[in-house]
Amino acid sequence: MEHIFTDQNFEERVLKSPKPVLVDFWAPWCGPCRVMSPIVDEIAGELEGRLTVGKMNVDENPNYPGQYGIMSIPTFLVFKGGQVAEQMVGTMSKEDMLNTLQKHLG
């Protein structure tokens, strides 16, 4: 299941999460973001229970993207224990993203 993260729920759902969290920073006008969206959706389904996956619209939620220095989208951050454990920027294959995520799963 995929979650929607906002400036209002980010601390509770991401920073305080007991599981690793993948945050997809995106915007509706971003072509590469639309390319990655189905890949992120598939990963959310495949890793459900091991990894929380969600998206954050950077146009509607400027606070946390700014705080984490998101300069281009799509950017994907993996959070563990409230800290950034991994950053991935741009488009990539599902296999590459899964390989990167595997090292953060318990």
User: 74-92, pLDDT tens digit by residue?
Assistant: 999 999 999 999 999 999 9
Statement: residue 1 has pLDDT above 90: no
pLDDT at 2: 74
pLDDT at 63: 96
User: 13-56, pLDDT tens digit by residue?
Assistant: 999 999 999 999 999 999 999 999 999 999 999 999 999 999 99
pTM as predicted: 0.96
Catalytic residues: 30, 33
37 touches 26 (CB < 8 A): yes
Q: Which fold has domain 2-101?
A: Glutaredoxin (3.40.30)
Q: CB-hemisphere CA count at 13 Å for 13?
A: 17
